[in-house]
Structure 1
Amino acid sequence: MRLAAALAVCLLPLLAGGARAQSASKPPVTVTVYRCTDAAGKVSLQDAPCAKGQAQQAREMLRPVDAPALPAMPSKPSSAAPVPASPSESRTVYLAPPRPMYECVTPEGKRYTSDDGRGNPRWVPLWTLGYPAVRPRSMLGDNIGQPDKVMHPPRRDINWPVATGGGTWIRDDCTMLPPREACARLRDRRSELRTRFFNAQEKERDALRAEERDINERLDNDCGGR
């Protein structure tokens, strides 16, 4: 048993070249190993018969076979594969519809801007509008005590307004401005506020800041930026 083990260990370097030539798919074959002992007692193993004058022992052994080749590993890419970019977050921005702006004109011809177009509704007596004033009759007659200042209506059917102490609602004439003009008016107003800010008192500055914030928000929403 010891001799067989020693022969197997010593034979491996000798048979390495032949073993590599064997295909993994072929069945194993046997080889003859010669143990030679010369006159001095030196022992050697070889795959050829011993020289003349040497003691020889021969043994049959299986030729070793290479293990099956491992599958080729895929080569690593030179650079890391690009990581797919994560989809960007979708953001939904809701904008309020643009607020209209109106230009209004007072009866005196003064112009101003308004957000509602109501024209500053106000209640005024009829006589302020130029309607004739007629004092109502009383149980004691017309304007007792001051007959010379009585204003009598004409002796015919009255089909036009007569002021008898009443009044009416009036409004200024208003016209909606185009969006481009409204944005220009907002920027002009903001410039005016900034000019007034330097000479304003602290309480007035708070009001100017609040109005400018409102204008900036409106410019961002209605005019696409400041």
Structure 2
Amino acid sequence: MRHRLAWLLLLAVPVAHADELVIYRCTDAAGALTVQNMPCPKGSRQQVKRMPALATVPMTSAPATPPQPAASAPADATPVPAAAAPGTPPAPASGNARLPPPNLFHCTTRDGGGYLTEDSEPASRCVPLQTTGLDGNPQGGAGQACEVVRDACARVPDEGLCEAWKKRRDEAEVAWRFTRTETSEKNQAEFDRVQRILAESTCGG
């Protein structure tokens, strides 16, 4: 009985403690190479390589370190804002703070008409003049002439800016919806721009 128990203990020795490791390199008739841990099949050229076996040691997992609680600020602590760089304008008190719309100018033409523009000095324009012949006959004028004029423009007061921008938006919408096809895309872009200015300013609030 004692010899039988010793034989069973020998069989229980792990494979990892074997003296050597045998590797078979097999090359078949077509020249394909196979590496395996058992003898090659018949008809294959076999090369045997023996090397010392490495005993494997099971790795023990390190005990998990419980996460440290993050240090929390006292309930009555007041956050200190970062110092702004010199010359930097102060940030608005809230991310939703709105600014007034840009300036608009109301211009009056020579014939008494008026329009709104964002330019304080609109471009000059040439007003056609009537020409006459040498005999004073207006039908006999052979040439053309015009007079360069500038419209008189004044800044819209702050209290009237929102109404002026809304009027500018309505005019841009009419120009977009009731215009020729070749300029429709450009007029729509202008309407969208004016609409966005209104929505993002104090007028849209």
TM-score with structure 1 setting the length? 0.34
Indicate the structure (1 or 2) with the bigger Cα radius of gyration: 1
Q: TM-score, normalised by structure 2?
A: 0.37
